[in-house]
Structure 1
Amino acid sequence: MHDVVLAVTFGSFSYGYCASILANIFTHAEFFEYLDLDPEGPNASHANSLIAAFNALLYVGGFVGCCLYPISSSRLGRRFPLGVGSVLVIVGGALQAGTTHNAMMCVARVVTGVGIGHFLPGCPLYQAEVAPAHNRGFLVGLHAAVVGAGFAVAQWIGVAFFNVPGQAGWRVPLALQCVSPLFMLCIVPFLPESPRWLYLAGEIDKAEKTIMRLHRDRTDPSNAYALAEFRTIKAQLDLEAQNRRSLWDGLRDPHLRKRFVFGFLVNTASQSSGSIVILTYSSVIYGRLGFSAFLQGILAGVWTTLLMLFNFLGGILTDKLGRVKQLVLGLLGCLFCLIMEVILTAIYADQDSTSGNAAATFFIFLFVCFFAAGVECPSFVYSSEIFPAGWRALGVGIALSAVQMWSAILNGAAAIAFENIKWFPTKGLTLEEISKAFGDATAEDTSALESLPVSPEQEKAVTNLKEEIYIDAVDPTRSLSRRQAKHLIRGLIAGLRAASLEKGDCICVHSFNNVSVKQADISGSAASAEVEVSYITRTNPGYTNYELQHHLKTSRTKLVIAQPDLYAEVFRAAKACGILERNVLTFDSQVQESLHPTSWHKLLQHGEEDWERFDDLSVAQSTPACILFSSGTTGLPKAALLSHYNLVAQHTLLQEQVSKPYRVSSLAY
């Protein structure tokens, strides 16, 4: 009997692998490049919508599969839908591995989803109907444990293929979806049919022989236990047959209706815990917490391994604690972990806090322990055993359709939510500027002044705000006025603070001179003047990779902004220096590379904040503003740190002491 229960878990494993593997594919730049998706570029909204669709459509198909399962299971037996699911997953996995277009990928995900939608209710229901009462919780709990094993294997496959170049790095893991259902398809003809379904189908003798074979016990040579169990099954099914009702009449029965409601709500609670979003978008969550792409895969692998192990523990606890007590304790534990996770993520996401990120990661791992042992495992067991035999296929199908329904909804919304949900800081902003931060249409700051009588001094001040202070000599349409510079500086100050640069960190600009570089130069100095944590440095665009690494290490750079055609080189140097990938930005997201760079405009998504003026000479002299390097003609370039006091002194020397009746312009180097 145990070998029969274990054989069915090929379907459980297939469900876990198929549900998890795409999260690993999202770490492969070649996947996005092949399908022409850019989650960080100007078409990020379209790309993120497709990513959400890839994830959600699997569960849309799964929901359809759960709804179709009761039809075939009730009429053709418990084995038949397992075979149907196997064929569909094999076809869907093959289509995903051979995908050539986004539409093909979407169709393949739906086909795979319909297949695993047959496995999700089919495996635990079959296990429940062939297992003896005294250890049914453990045996049905194996379904959850092996689903966790599928999750874990998918994550470790992702780690193994992380550095595999080309399309093989993502096509092979997708193709491996076909392996487990292929084994399942080969095994199905040799599985004994459920004795309860056989009795319902009128094959009474065959049902008796099957239960004798399944529950044979060496300590009970007369099969007294199996015979007693068969008599109980026979009596109960005969009673149910006498009271057989239509679907409508059954739903009007309060006892049966309560079962449907409880089964659906238990699985709704399981999915509403957020586990499926953590699983599917693990790369996004760990990435926001500052972990590299490779380490994201390692952490996801450990998380899913814990899911498997604690599901196994949950199967043991189910027969000891009872289903309801186990669910209550598990949900309370999940609630505590999620509260702590939300608090820590809100504070430390996208920031360089080792302790904060470690604490947030700890609660992600503690969460999976409570979820696997206390929620997922007993929910499968409870759903598969509360329905009477004649209603079991329909009841389990409806109960577990909640898993697919909520997975589709949550995964479909999560990608867009991760991209768009932000908290806008309002410190230092006028009420009108707050409207602008939220994207409202706002009038220019000086529009009201222009319609009022003004003094010559006021008119000069307004004119100065409009004056262009930086003009691109090659393309004069690219310019920067005083007003624009002020808003950009305030926006970048807010962005740099949100990036949590610590004291002594450096912002590096790797670019030829242009208007955008001037914005970064001014903002970097202003930010350091405000919070005394960072300073700015400029590199030589002609640096070799070795010289660039020397510059980044010497200046202790933590955030780099590069021009597009120099991005690939600075990305490699920054990676070698241990700079976080999310802190390597570009002045333009249109980079023809498979690196999928992030535009520096992400720093402008945190509202605006003002800077403080120095009123203490010692602070001005001790606060670094920028670090300059020598040409390196006699060796590696040497660094010289300039304070804000030095910077102001240099600008004072360059100022015209006697005003002229005409405008004086300087050509920037």
Structure 2
Amino acid sequence: MARFIVIAVALVAAMGGFIYGFDSGIVATTLGHDSFKLYFYGSAMSNTALSGAIVSVYNAGQACGGLTSGFVADKFSRRYAMSVMAFITIVGATLQTAAVHVAMMILGRFIAGVACGSLLSLVPIYLAETALPNNRGFMVGLHGMMIAVGFGTANWVGYAGSHAVGDVQWRVPLAMQLPIPLLMMAGCVFIPFSPRWLVQQDRVEEAKDVLVRLHGQEELASHELAQIRSQLNLENNVGSASWSYALRQMFSKQYVRRTVTAAFIVIMGQLSGSSVIQNFQGIFYATVGFTGQTSLLVSGIYGMMGIIGQIFYLVVVADRWPRVRTLWTGSVVLSVMISICMALSAQFGSADSGNPAGARGAIAMIFLYSASYAIFFNAMIWVVPSELFPFFLRSKGLAFAVFCKATVGIVLSQITPIALENVGWRYYSLFIATNMTAAIIYFFFLPETSGKSLEEIAELFGDVVAPASDEKLGAGTEGLHVERLSHDNKKSEV
């Protein structure tokens, strides 16, 4: 019963992943509709600057949303923050659907980006804080799964829109961004607060009730609650610290390694090449002769490959493969996939190459790349960063990582159309280099976090960790005290 409840709660929260996946994916098919290009670009039906702006402003919104989500999550709770951000995506989607000029479309994409940037950090944190150590990879992996499902759904919705006539081709697909946020807002009424957030608010009995409901055993809940309270006490109860204080701490000697590691892992979601292929796949397909409805159909198949890969992750990889091994081997696999795709594109990467089989081979490698990314990274880039920080920095640290990801995304979305136009298949070499560099860094510098509680992971980075206790706690907030000397010792070690 407890297992069912945990999964049900996780699926409600993971709708935030679907929202991000759908909102990110729908722009690729939208930009591919001739009716959209005619409406916003005029008779030329092409405007590289505006296409880049529509994509990059979404990343700019993510950067803003990422910076604010940490404060909102700590002050108002992860649960309320997720609900509010779901509502904001509705506002953004409404503006996009009703857009009568490009400025309205860009504003709608920006607002949706703000909400999705927040959800990218809020959902993994909430899932990590409500899961047991031995299934945290699976639970946070549901976030990645829903991103893949959202993206795949967006591709097929866009393809379906291509069979309509006129503005309906892109307005109805954009309107399909509305139902899931509404459903998520309703679901957030029924899910519990994060037990760690409740403890930080001195709502200890509520936290214990939540842990009993989620994990099904009162003894286990008492044990976990004792460790949570002990660790929060060691952290000097600064969970509601201001952004200025959090930034100083994130880049202090004690926490800077965790901050840089989390930001690097999330940034690699962009520098792996996935976002470039996702947002500009229509350009890739056009270079090998696939245009119009055929291009949109290929996009739909591409999205399905991500879902297949994500299912493989949940069934085979999650909480079974070590985190470090998953990341470094995945980086090597992606580098190999892109290398093969680059070679095929160089040889057959044009509609008049005289070898359609070679062109289809390049597309097949993009499909395999999509499945491989889902297996190794789609979930893992959120699992590991959500584990690295102590409570008082967790939401703000992951928010900073999302900000860095979005900033890199802005740069890539601006330079990619230009790069593809000027250097073509050679642009792939950038992502070959970044993936191989990431593999080396993961192998030599990333500590293994699988199977440990969020409190125990701090010990990997040299923090003083509160000992677990089997003591049953009373109703009051004074049930367990940790000597302040332990906290002082921690400070002196920095």
The equivalent of 2:231 in structure 1 is 236
* C-alpha contact 1:17 1:177 (8 A) present in aligned 2: yes
Do the aligned partners of 1:4 and 1:191 also contact (CA within 8 Å) in 2? yes
| 1:239 aligned partner, one-letter code | L
- Of Structure 1 and Structure 2, which has the larger fraction of its residues in helix? 2
1:297 aligns with 2:296: yes
Deviation of 1:406 (Å) = 2.0
Residues 48 and 229 from structure 1, CA distance in 2 versus in 1: closer, same or farther, beyond 3 angstroms?
A: same
Matches within 5 A, 1:507-518: none
Q: After superposition, what is the alpha-carbon deviation per residue over 1:410-447, rounded to whole angstroms, capped at 9, x for unaligned?
A: 122212323343699xxxxxxxxxxxxxxxxxxxxxxx
- Say if 1:318 and 1:326, in contact at 8 Å, map to a contact too: no
Residue 224 of structure 2 aligns with an amino acid whose one-letter code is: E
Q: Is the 8 A contact 2:342 2:425 kept in 1?
A: no
Question: CA–CA distance in 1 between the matches of 2:36 and 2:297?
Answer: 20
The percentage of aligned residue pairs carrying the same residue is: 29
CA distance in 2, matches of 1:416, 1:106: 20
Aligned match of 1:224: 219
AA of the residue aligned to 1:224: E
Q: Map of 1:173-192 to 2, 5 A cutoff?
A: 173-192=173-192
**In 2, distance between residues paired with 1:354 and 1:31?**
29
How many Å apart are 1:252 and its aligned residue?
Answer: 5.0
CA distance in 2, matches of 1:65, 1:423: 33
Whole-Å separation in 1 of the counterparts to 2:420 and 2:108:
25
- Residue 78 and residue 243 in structure 1: after superposition, are their counterparts in 2 closer, same or farther (change >3 A)? closer
- Report matched runs for 1:218-367 at 5 Å: 220=217, 223-241=218-236, 246-247=245-246, 249-251=248-250, 253-316=252-315, 317-352=317-352, 353-367=355-369
Secondary structure of 2:193 counterpart: coil
Higher strand fraction: Structure 1 or Structure 2?
1
Cα distance change of structure 1 residues 252 and 154 upon mapping to structure 2, 3 Å threshold: closer
SS of residue paired to 2:18:
helix
Separation in 1 of the partners of 2:190 and 2:371? Answer: 36
Q: Secondary structure at the match of 1:297?
A: helix
Q: CA offset at residue 331 of structure 1?
A: 0.5
Aligned mates of 1:284, 1:103 — CA distance in 2: 23
For 1:21 and 1:335, locate their aligned partners in 2 and report how far apart those are by CA, in whole Å: 27
Contact 1:315 1:378 in 2 (8 A): no
Contact 2:64 2:114 in 1 (8 A): yes
Report if aligned partners of 1:89, 1:115 keep a CA contact under 8 Å in 2: yes
Residue 89 (structure 1) aligns with: 89
- Rounded Cα–Cα distance in structure 1 between residues aligned with 2:81 and 2:304: 29
Aligned to 1:321, what secondary structure does the other structure show? Answer: coil
| Amino acid in structure 2 at the alignment position of 1:279 | Q
Shift of 1:337: 0.9
SS in 1 for 2:78: coil
Aligned counterpart in structure 2 of residue 24 of structure 1, from 24, 29, 41:
29
Whichever residue aligns with residue 24 of structure 1, its letter is T
| Structural mapping, 1:147-166, within 5 Å | 147-166=147-166
One-letter amino acid of the structure 1 residue matched with residue 282 of structure 2: S
Deviates more, 1:349-358 or 1:61-70: 349-358
Structure 1 contact 383–400 (Cα < 8 Å) conserved: no
Partner residue in 2 for 1:34: 39
For residues 225 and 50 of structure 1, the distance between their equivalents in structure 2, rounded to whole angstroms, comes to 55
Compute the TM-score of the two structures, normalised by the length of structure 2.
0.80
Residue 164 to residue 309, structure 1, CA distance change in 2 (3 Å): same
Q: CA deviation at 1:403?
A: 2.7
Structure ID, larger Rg: 1
What are the equivalent positions in structure 2 for 1:437-516 lying under 5 Å apart? none
Match of residue 3 from structure 1: 8
* Root-mean-square deviation over aligned CA pairs: 1.9
SS in 1 for 2:162: coil
Cα offset, 1:145, TM superposition:
0.8
Q: Distance in 2 between matches of 1:365 and 1:170?
A: 25
Pair 1:200-2:195 in alignment: no
8 Å CA contact 2:250, 2:397 repeated in 1 = no
Paired residues of 1:310 and 1:372 also in contact (CA < 8 A): yes
Which range moves more in the overlay, 344-353 or 11-20?
Answer: 344-353
Change (3 A) 1:162 1:254: same
- Against the structure 1 CA distance between its residues 158 and 343, is the aligned structure 2 distance closer, same or farther, given a 3 Å change threshold? same
Cα distance between partner residues in 1 of 2:293 and 2:204: 57
Contact kept in structure 2, 1:24 and 1:158, CA below 8 Å: yes
Query: Following superposition, which runs of at least 4 residues in structure 1 exceed 6 angstroms of deviation?
Result: 242-245
Taking structure 1 as the reference length, the TM-score comes to 0.60
Residue 243 (structure 1) shift: 8.2
- Secondary structure at 2:389's aligned position in 1? coil
Alpha-carbon displacement from aligned partner over 1:282-329 (angstroms, at most 9, x marks no partner): 111111111232222222112111112212322341311111110001
Is contact 1:268-1:403 (8 Å) kept?
Answer: yes
Which string of whole-angstrom CA distances, capped at 9 and with x for unpartnered residues, describes residues 181-201 of structure 1? 111122222221101001111
Partner in structure 1 of residue 19 of structure 2: 14
Deviations 1:592-641 (A, max 9, x none): xxxxxxxxxxxxxxxxxxxxxxxxxxxxxxxxxxxxxxxxxxxxxxxxxx
Structure 2 CA distance for aligned equivalents of residues 39 and 262 of structure 1: 45
**Does residue 396 of the first structure (1) align with residue 395 of the second (2)?**
no
CA distance in structure 1 between the aligned counterparts of 2:425 and 2:215, rounded to whole angstroms: 60
**CA shift in 2, pair 1:200/1:242, >3 Å:** closer
The residue type paired with residue 234 of structure 2 is L
Report the more deviating stretch, 362-371 or 239-248. Answer: 239-248
Retained in 1: the 8 A contact 2:246–2:396? no
| Amino acid in the other structure paired with 2:104 | M
Asked whether the 8 Å contact 2:151–2:303 carries over to 1, the reply is yes
Aligned to 1:73, the other structure's residue is in SS state helix
Out of 242-251 and 262-271, give the one that drifted further: 242-251
2 CA distance for matches of 1:423 and 1:391?
A: 41
The 8 Å contact of residues 145 and 378 in structure 2, kept in 1 or not, is answered as no
Is residue 19–residue 150 contact of structure 2 (8 Å, CA) maintained in 1? yes
- The residue type paired with residue 192 of structure 2 is P
Q: 2-side partners of 1:60 and 1:181: how far apart?
A: 21
Query: Residues of 2 paired with 1:198 and 1:377: CA distance?
Result: 26
